[in-house]
Amino acid sequence: MNDITREITEFLSAALRSEVGPDDDYFALGLADSLFALELVTFVESRFSLTVEVEDLDLESFRTANRITRFVQRKTGSPEFTENR
Amino acid sequence: MNRAPGTGSPAVAEAARFASEVRGRAAAWDREGGLPAGVLKEAAAAGLLGAGIPERFGGQGVTPAELGEICAHLGGVCSALRGLVTVQGMVAAALHRWGTGEQRARWLPALAGGELTAGFAATEEAAGSALSAVRTRIEDAGDGEHVTVTGHKKWITFGQVAQVLLVLGQDKGKPAAVVVEADREGVSREPVGGQLGMRAAQIAHIGLDAVRVPRTNLVAPSGLGLSHVAGTALDHGRFTVAWGCVGMAEACVEDATAHAAARTQGGEALAGHQSVRALLAKAAVETAGARELARRAAEFRSGGAPGSVTETIVAKYAAAAAAASASSTAVQVLGSAGCEPDSRAGRHFRDAKVMEIIEGAQQVAELHIAEQLMRRHAGRGPAPASPAAEVRA
């Protein structure tokens, strides 16, 4: 598990009060409520200094810790995406 | 209690001036059940409707702390006026956060300048606190370019006059959000009057009968209409409601104290009685506490901190309770003067009760706040087996 995935699984496990693995679909497991979705977006944005735009919004990219990791890598790997708020 | 520092910004000063100018008119608005059209124009001219919208979209781009102070000034005078700023801000926040570039450019400048008045059409007969139960249907119109929106929305603040509605519905069973211009065919409004509070907020029930809107009015992908779009609007709403309640509570403490000092009965000022002083002290401390929690929420929000959603819920919970308590105290201390028609304390009392219900009832806030406690102190494991296990933990 890389550092990004580790941080995300840690956040998810703490927030959802349940051990969440890198490939666990926590929405499908019924662990997340509607307020949690915004908290997760805010966490990812503030922790990895990026902005989640509507074009990025796709339940699939946020469904598991590994998918969020790939999303973060894609966003932070492209300089034009990092400071566009 | 003194207002916090940082109130010297021009936008806050303008809101203070506006609030003090309309102070004497708020009772009539309440009695007559609406804000005159001229007041909406004046509020727009004062920049209040676009206070929180970024400058590049024609707003004032104020900080959360400044927006809070603006709402406190307005809330101290008229909750319906503060509600106007709240609703406009909720819809603008959702569109700014989750609208496309084209949607932002199309609606935000008009919302900022007040050329368009917004309504947030989420609640229905069977969907209040539980918004996931909305039944409004957003369906493909068959031409690939439009959707139709069908449903019945209830208790829409400024629904009598709103020109654009951010509507929460279901698209094939997934929560979805869509902007519906109110002049489209199939939109009907049923004005609500004489309700407990927020009487000047021009509330309406809104019918949507197969209203045809372009697909480009859909905000965010289906499935995210509640958690993201409505969630952002409600988070913004809770923040401005919290500060409006702070202003309302402060106004009530001031009115009650002034009355207690001036009014004599049997040769003694009311303020000479310990029991009256106790009421004032309790209200003042609850109010000051609410202000600090609202200030804390503003700090979290300006830093984009992950806890901002929860801190905002905490602030709204405390501030609504403080407004309800301080307004009850004010009516009690004012006695018959608090009960008479057009009484400011009486109006705040009625409005404050509504604040304990809208944007998440107090009991719903408690559930969330307690859940946060569980995260911190209850450890983790597999999902709890039974409610009893949660209580023990």
**Given an 8 Å threshold on Cβ–Cβ distance, is A38 in contact with B231?**
yes
Residues 50-69, chain A: which have Cβ within 8 Å of B? 54-55, 57-59
What CATH number is associated with residue A26?
1.10.1200.10
| Last residue within a domain, chosen from B191, B222, B253 | B222
The total number of structural domains in chain B stands at 3
Q: Is residue B240 part of a domain?
A: yes
Nearest CA in chain A to B234: A35
Task: Determine, yes or no, domain membership for B143.
Answer: yes
A34 touches B: beta carbon within 8 Å: yes
Tokens 């202000």 -> residue? B291
Residue B142: give the domain boundaries: 118-222
Interface contact flag, B224 A35, Cβ < 8 Å: no
The answer to the question of residue A66 being in a domain is yes
Q: Provide the domain count of chain A.
A: 1
Is B166 in contact with B120 (CB distance < 8 Å)?
A: yes
pLDDT (tens, 9 = 90+) of chain B, 393 residues, equals 444 555 579 999 999 999 999 999 999 999 999 999 999 999 999 999 999 999 999 999 999 999 999 999 999 999 999 999 999 999 999 999 999 999 999 999 999 999 999 999 999 999 998 999 999 999 999 999 999 999 999 999 999 999 999 999 999 999 999 999 999 999 999 999 999 999 999 999 999 999 999 999 999 999 999 999 999 999 999 999 999 999 999 999 999 999 999 999 999 999 999 999 999 999 999 999 999 999 999 999 998 888 999 999 999 999 999 999 999 999 999 999 999 999 999 999 999 999 999 999 999 999 999 988 988 888 776 544 433 333 332
Of B178, B205, B222, which closes a domain?
B222
> Quick check: B380 and A15 CB within 8 A?
no
**What integer pLDDT is reported at residue B390 of this predicted model?**
33
Cβ B226–A34 below 8 Å, yes or no?
yes
What residues contact residue B336 under an 8 Å CB cut-off, 6+ apart? Answer: none
Is the Cβ–Cβ distance between B258 and B271 less than 8 Å?
no
Residue A67 forms part of a structural domain: yes
Contact B100/B221 with Cβ under 8 angstroms? no
Say yes or no for a CB contact (<8 Å) between A59 and B380. no
Interchain proximity A34–B231, CB inside 8 Å: yes
Cross-chain residue pair B378–A17, CB shorter than 8 Å? yes
Handedness of CA B288, B290, B295, B296 (dihedral sign): positive
> Does the beta-carbon distance from B380 to A46 stay under 8 Å?
no
A31 to chain B: closest CA residue: B383
Same domain for B201 and B155, yes or no, is yes
**A82: pLDDT confidence band, cut at 50, 70 and 90?**
very low
Query: Which residues, in sequence order, are CB contacts of B83 under 8 Å at separation 6+?
Result: B157, B158, B198, B201, B244
Query: Would residue A85 count as lying in a domain?
Result: no
The answer to whether residue A34 is domain-embedded is yes
What ipTM was predicted for this assembly? 0.84
Contact A35 B368 (CB under 8 A): yes
Evaluate whether residue B269 is within a structural domain.
yes
Task: State the pLDDT at residue B391.
Answer: 32
CATH number (domain holding residue B182): 2.40.110.10
Q: What is the dihedral of CA B266, B268, B271, B272, to 10 degrees?
A: -120
Any domain includes B386:
no
Q: Are residues B197 and B266 in the same domain?
A: no
Mean pLDDT of chain A: 84
Query: Cβ separation of B380 and A17 shorter than 8 Å?
Result: yes
Residues 6+ apart with CB under 8 A from B181: B163, B164, B165, B213
Q: Is residue B54 part of a domain?
A: yes
Residues of A in contact with B224 (CB under 8 A): 37, 57, 59
Rounded to 10 degrees, the C-alpha dihedral B220/B224/B230/B231 comes to -120
Residue A44 belongs to a domain:
yes
Question: Is there a single domain that holds both residue B95 and residue B168?
Answer: no
| Cβ within 8 Å, pair A19-B381 | yes
Assigned domain for B70 exists: yes
Q: Is there a domain that residue B5 lies in?
A: no
Closest among A62, A3, A1, A24 to B383, alpha carbons compared = A24
The whole-angstrom separation of Cα B167 and Cα B208 is: 10
Regarding whether B361 and B250 lie in a shared domain, the answer is yes
Put simply, the answer to whether A59 touches B224 (Cβ < 8 Å) is yes
Q: E-assigned strands of A1-85? A: none
Pair (B27, B161) in one structural domain: no
B199 and B312: one domain?
no
The residue among A35, A51, A62 with the most chain B CBs within 10 A of its CB, best to mutate, is A35
What are the percentages of helix, strand and coil residues in chain A, rounded to 5? 60, 0, 40
Chain B residue at shortest CA distance from A40:
B306
CB contacts of A47 in chain B (<8 Å) are: 306
Nearest CA in chain A to B101: A54
CATH assignment at residue B53: 1.10.540.10
- Residue B299 phi, psi dihedral angles, 5° rounding: -65, -45
Last residue of some domain: B56, B91, B113? Answer: B113
Q: How far is CA B360 from CA A73, B131, B204, B235, B314, in A?
A: 36, 10, 19, 10, 11
Tell me whether A83 touches chain B (CB under 8 Å). Answer: no
- Would residue A72 count as lying in a domain? yes
HEC states along B250-299?
A: HHHHHHHHHHHHHCEECCEEHHHCHHHHHHHHHHHHHHHHHHHHHHHHHH
Instruction: Name the closest residue on chain A to residue B103, using Cα atoms.
Output: A54
* Contact residues, chain A, for B306 at CB < 8 Å: 39, 42-43, 46-47
pLDDT for the residue numbered A35: 85
Q: Identify the closest residue of chain A to B54 by CA–CA distance.
A: A85
Cβ contacts of A61 on chain B, cutoff 8 Å: none
Owning domain of residue A74:
3-80
Give a yes or no: residue A64 inside a domain.
yes
pLDDT of residue B253: 98
- pLDDT band (50, 70, 90) for residue A60: confident
Confidence at residue B382, expressed as pLDDT on a 0 to 100 scale = 57
| Interchain CB contacts (distance < 8 Å): A and B | 72
Beta strands in chain B (DSSP E): 118-121, 137-140, 146-156, 164-171, 174-181, 187-191, 204-214, 218-219, 264-265, 268-269
Q: What is the CATH number of the domain that holds B265?
A: 1.20.140.10
